Amino acid sequence: MPSFKRLLWTCLTLASLQFGLGRAKCGDNTYNPTVKQTQLQVGGFSKDPPKFKVEVENNCPMCPLIDLHLKCGSFSQQLVDPKLLKVLAPNNCVVNNGLPLQPLEKLYFNYSHPHKYLLYPSTWYFQCE
Ligand SMILES: *[C@@H]1O[C@H](CO)[C@@H](O)[C@H](O)[C@H]1NC(C)=O
């Protein structure tokens, strides 16, 4: 019965995909969280410094992301609400107080400063259970 075989095969394939998703899949580099920055406003014409929009994204479609730390250089706490980004030490900032970003959730904040700070994810965990 070829059609039964095909059905069985389809089920097995789907089942293995289901098992394959989760921790192992999101541990893959393709799901690393990302930080994107865009400049919203150019300084210079007024005395206002340029404004940058920061977008932090959990790229894992299955698992909440927790305890995301960023390399943040000498980022100043005064530029941002610590609930969004808390400066713990030089070059160590934590996003959302370490609390979960849901699968594919994005968190946004703006800051104004004469130059852009480089912000890179350094450590994080996926909460797959
Ligand atoms: C960031 O700035 C833009 C433009 O000024 C504004 O529309 C947006 O609401 C701001 N975002 C946040 C999270 O404050």
Residue 93, domain extent: 2-126
Q: Is 18 exposed, middle or buried (0-12, 13-18, 19+ CB in 10 A)?
A: exposed
Of the ranges 11-15, 94-98, 107-111, 118-122, which one carries the lowest mean pLDDT score?
Answer: 11-15
Distance CA 93, CA 107 (A): 14
User: Separation of 100 CA from ligand 1 center, angstroms?
Assistant: 22
Q: Is the pLDDT of residue 86 over 60?
A: yes
Ligand 1, from 38, 46, 52, 53: best to mutate by most atoms within 8 Å of Cβ? 53
Phi, psi of 25 (to 5 degrees): -65, -45
Q: Is the pLDDT of residue 67 over 80?
A: yes
Which residues does 120 contact at the CB level (< 8 Å), separation at least 6?
A: 35, 70, 71
Q: List residues near ligand 1 (CB under 6 A).
A: 40, 53, 108-110
The gap from C-alpha 69 to its chain's centroid, in whole angstroms, comes to 10
In one-letter notation, the amino acid at residue 67 is: D
User: Separation of 110 CA from ligand 1 center, angstroms?
Assistant: 6
Q: What is the pLDDT of residue 27?
A: 82
In one-letter notation, the amino acid at residue 105 is: E
Of the ranges 3-17, 22-36, 101-115, which one carries the lowest mean pLDDT score?
Answer: 3-17
User: Separation of 106 CA from ligand 1 center, angstroms?
Assistant: 14
